[in-house]
Structure 1
Amino acid sequence: MNEPRPARRLFLRAGAATGAALTVGGLAAPAASALTADGAAAPAVAAAPGGFPDYTYVRTLLTPSQLKYNPTGEIIFPCIRGTAGRLANPLGRYYLYYGPHDAPGGICLAYGDSLEGPFTEYPNNPIVSNNWQPHYKVSHVASAHVMWIESSKEMWMYFHGENTTTRLARSKDGINFTYDKVVLSTSMLPSGTTETSYARVFPHELPSRGAHFVMLFMLNNTSNHRDIHWGWSADGRNWTFDQQPLVRHTDVGAVNVGGPHLLYRNNSTYVVYNKDKSSGGDIMITEVGNDFSKRTHLGVFYNSRSAAPENGRAAAPSFGTDGGVPYMIYEAGERLAGSIAMARG
């Protein structure tokens, strides 16, 4: 098995499968050559680019029309997190964060005991709204990415609202959050930047930069083409951002790219992200290396199906492993007209 470096192991095991993983529910993953960005071991199965599992759609987990909180008829950006050994008296072994994007948006929660589903909608959604006085009042909040922080025994939530601003909130139970601060805004990136949103944060050691975390996010500018950008941080709260794209839309023949997620395998680091539907609607993969110095574009990571519920678009993946089986939870269907689906590796 390709083991992570000792320094990285500290952070990945601490966040362990913040996507559901090694010790969730007492299940131990078998020896394997892969790690998700949250530290979950993945078994050797059929390979996609980079040697990752070849994920196959299994079922839809959440459909807007079946949800009590459904102000806009659409939901986006799932984030799956394991609760066992972290939260006292959780509602289930897994918390699935999601929500509508369009105004008023709202960060929502569903819970379940298996990555296969079913998931039950939390009755008091949204758990974070677009009006959180005295901190902000915006048209919408969306795209919650939640990460377990072992040192403080907290769930940290990164979310955007407006599209120009990413914020951080913190929670001991994964439901009731305390506002922290703005962590990303258009003012921190080059002139002409109009959007900095859909951020995900991961434990990752960058010794040369004194960093223990990296952030991936989507940036739009006055050209109205979206790229993947990144930043690094020592504490997850205060950030430095590369002023150049990590993945340009032109690098992979797309009009727009977005929904990035970090993955590890074979002692290297990869970014997966989605193309817009007009460019194929697939999830792509690029090797960036452990120090983020590579830009090796490996092609399609997950090929969206033309059949429902994907209808030619898969996006914004979140990953977890349960009992040695890798899962991908993702947006399925046209943007703002889709559902949350599950694929198995």
Structure 2
Amino acid sequence: MNQPHQPSRRILLKSAAATTAALAVGTAAAPALAAPGDTATAAAAPGGFPDYRYVKTLLKPSQLTYNPTGEIIFPCIRGTAGRLSAPLGRYYLYYAPHDAPGGICLAYGDHIEGPFTEYPRNPLVANVWQPHYSVSHVSSPHVMWNESAKEMWLYFHGENTTTRLARSKDGITFTYDKVVLSTSMLPAGTTETSYARVFPYELPSKNAHFVMLFMLNNTTNHRDIHWGWSADGRNWTFDQKALVSHNDVSAVNIGGPHLLTRGGSAFVVYNKDKTSGGDLMITEVGADFTLRRHLGRFYESAAGAPDNGRSASPSFGTEGGVPYMVYESGERLQGSISVARG
């Protein structure tokens, strides 16, 4: 399962109307999938999700003008149609170098499979933003379309102890908002709270309309997945216990979490570090995040290029009803941004 460089296969959507809607919106959140019992042309990954197959590499550091460190991480794909006025393309692909100085970057294109054009004035957000902060680096951009605000909300880290929020009407020019996550908000001994992704998600029992998934490290130097919830996407409450622990899945470290939903339940897709296998894994957490059902491997990394045994930080979207996964491919700080099709 999930061996790259094989012919792509497409999931059949439930109706032509669903296909038309997905194309019109250009959505890049959780993929539109066949409902349980629908016919599908591809084998299903755990949880009934598509069996994603590598298609191509989208961005390589060596081909980028803004390339301060020779590495890029943490892609985030977002559709612009019906959201932004006069966008540069139908899809915005956010990414960043990790090492200092980092910098939140943008590439744009009309198809999730590319090609993507590097925005000529990268970085959009730098490691110094007076009077708000001056840090060694900023990285891990996650952009969420906030429907009520009609804005792109950017969550990013710098340093690894702090996640911040910035907001934009055009997806390019951002206004600083505030710190939304820091180590001080989690248990004593926490050393890192970063690589956060935020999703619209209804949790009536907590009066919440958004959830955040992020990586937490502590003095044991083992990384876990944690989570929080919010009514407005700005002010957060965080569970003080791990959502998914590295011990739960026999890993040294886990990170890069993304939320998917299907059949009324929620699932977390995340990466194990290469010393633990380098694949993407999936855990079902249930509609109210109280379930812990570890379903195993979601995507098997190729031993050869471009994965070289490691896939990480997936971001999901659809185009014309076809599900895609944009992800970090290759050894950490030596990889590229690739795309796989379901």
So what's the TM-score if we normalise by structure 1?
0.90
Check if 1:331 corresponds to 2:334. no
Q: How many residues align?
A: 318
2:52 aligned with 1:61, yes or no? no
**Could you tell me which of 219, 227, 233 is aligned with 2:230?**
233
For 1:90, the equivalent position in structure 2 comes to 87
The aligned counterpart of 1:223 is: 220
Q: Aligned letter for 1:41? A: A
**1:165 maps to what in 2?**
162
1:223 and 1:175 mapped to 2: Cα distance?
38
Paired residue for 2:200, among 197, 200, 203? Answer: 203
Structure 2: tracts of 5 or more residues without a match: 1-18, 35-39
Q: How far apart in 1 are the matches of 2:285 and 2:319?
A: 26
In 1, the alpha carbon distance for the partners of 2:21 and 2:103 equals 31
Do residues 152 (structure 1) and 143 (structure 2) align? no
Q: In the alignment, what sits opposite 2:255?
A: 258
1:51 to 35, 48, 53: 48
Q: Is the 8 A contact 1:27 1:323 kept in 2?
A: no
2:24 pairs with 1:26: yes
Counterpart position of 2:181: 184
2:334 alignment partner AA: A
Q: Does 1:141 align with 2:138?
A: yes
In the superposition, relative to structure 1, how do residues 185 and 302 fare at CA in structure 2: closer, same or farther (>3 Å)?
same
Question: Does the 8 Å CA contact 2:182/2:193 hold for their aligned counterparts?
Answer: yes
TM-score, normalising length: structure 2: 0.91
Cα RMSD after superposing both structures: 1.4
- In the TM superposition, residue 324 of structure 1 has moved relative to its aligned partner by 1.1
For each residue in 1:198-222, what CA deviation from the matched residue of structure 2 results, as whole angstroms up to 9, or x when unmatched? 0000011111111010000000000
- Report runs of 4+ in structure 1 exceeding 3 Å deviation: 21-25
The 5-angstrom pairing of residues 255-334 of structure 1 reads 255-334=252-331
Q: Which amino acid aligns with 2:252?
A: V
CA distance in 1, matches of 2:162, 2:25: 38
Measured against aligned partners, the alpha-carbon deviations of 1:43-75 in whole angstroms (never above 9, x if no partner) come to 444200011000001100000000000000000
The answer for the alignment partner of 2:9 in structure 1 is none
1:73 aligns with 2:105: no
> 1:244: how far off?
0.2
Asked if structure 2 preserves the Cα contact closer than 8 Å seen for 1:270 and 1:286, the reply is: yes
Q: Secondary structure at the match of 1:162?
A: coil
- Percent of residue pairs identical: 77
Q: Distance in 1 between matches of 2:248 and 2:65?
A: 41
Tell me the distance in 1 between the aligned counterparts of 2:195 and 2:204. 26
